[in-house]
Structure 1
Amino acid sequence: MTLSAEDKLAVHELIALHGHLMDAGELDRMDELFAVDVVYDVTAFGAGELHGCEAIKQAALALGDRNPVGHHVTNVYVIEDADGTVRAVSKGIGINSNGSVGSVVYEDIVRREAAGWRIAYRKVKPRRAPLRP
């Protein structure tokens, strides 16, 4: 598959939708973001791998007030591997209710399904230290 400009735009829109749905608490709409068999890897935060939309929803509910009040995604980069795997890498900024801010890198594998593009795999990596060449 060769990614068209429309495909890349659709992937950008998909990644942007994540923050809107999460911040609005629309957790029953996770199927608009994620494939049925999604693996959401939050191992770096001590939560391991979440499998499926329901597990993502339950993890967000369990966090309760510790969820960010704002998920902001920037610097989205979409590439297609030689084997056809489509990857998106983006930066996330989370604003917490106490005013603190966190930064992450999202490493996604996305695929086109009957309903449109969906995230099949997401690894969330915290950014806790500045660049040190």
Structure 2
Amino acid sequence: MAFTADDRTEITELISMHGHLCDSGELDRLDEVFTPDVVYDVSDFGQEPLLGVAACAAAGRALGELNPVAHHVTNVVLTEAADGRVHARSKGIGVNADGTAGSVTYEDTVIRTPHGWRIGHRKIHAHRTPLGGHV
């Protein structure tokens, strides 16, 4: 099936929805963003990858007040893969309650499901130094 402009819009909105659901505390709705068996790779933060949408919701709840108060996503770039999946790369900005902020890159594999596009794999790369660490 051809990758259309409508697909681009749906996937961009899907990636954006993650922040809205997290910021509003609607973690039980993460199945609207991720496949049931999603791999959410947070190893760049020293943690094991989260396996499944329930584990993602539980991790968000466990962070409690340490969660950012705002998740913003921008600079979404979509590339169609040969198998019909889509590779999505985007920037994330997290704003904390104390006013500090952090930046990440999301590397997503997006899959067309009977319920629409869903993220099946997400790897988060934290940014800690300018110019990709090359000073």
CA distance in 2, matches of 1:25, 1:85: 29
Q: Deviations over 1:21-58 (max 9, x none)?
A: 00000011010000011000000112211011110011
Structure 1 match to 2:116: 116
- Give how far 1:124 is off: 0.6
CA distance in 2, matches of 1:123, 1:18: 14
Q: Which shifted more, 84-93 or 100-109?
A: 84-93
Q: Deviations over 1:88-110 (max 9, x none)?
A: 00000000011110000000000
TM-score, length basis structure 1: 0.96
Structure 2 match to 1:74: 74
CA distance in 2, matches of 1:10, 1:45: 29
TM-score, length basis structure 2: 0.95
- Give how far 1:82 is off: 2.9
CA distance in 2, matches of 1:9, 1:85: 15
The count of corresponding residues between Structure 1 and Structure 2 is: 133
Structure 2 match to 1:33: 33
**Structure 2: 5+ residue runs without aligned partners?**
none
CA distance in 2, matches of 1:117, 1:17: 12
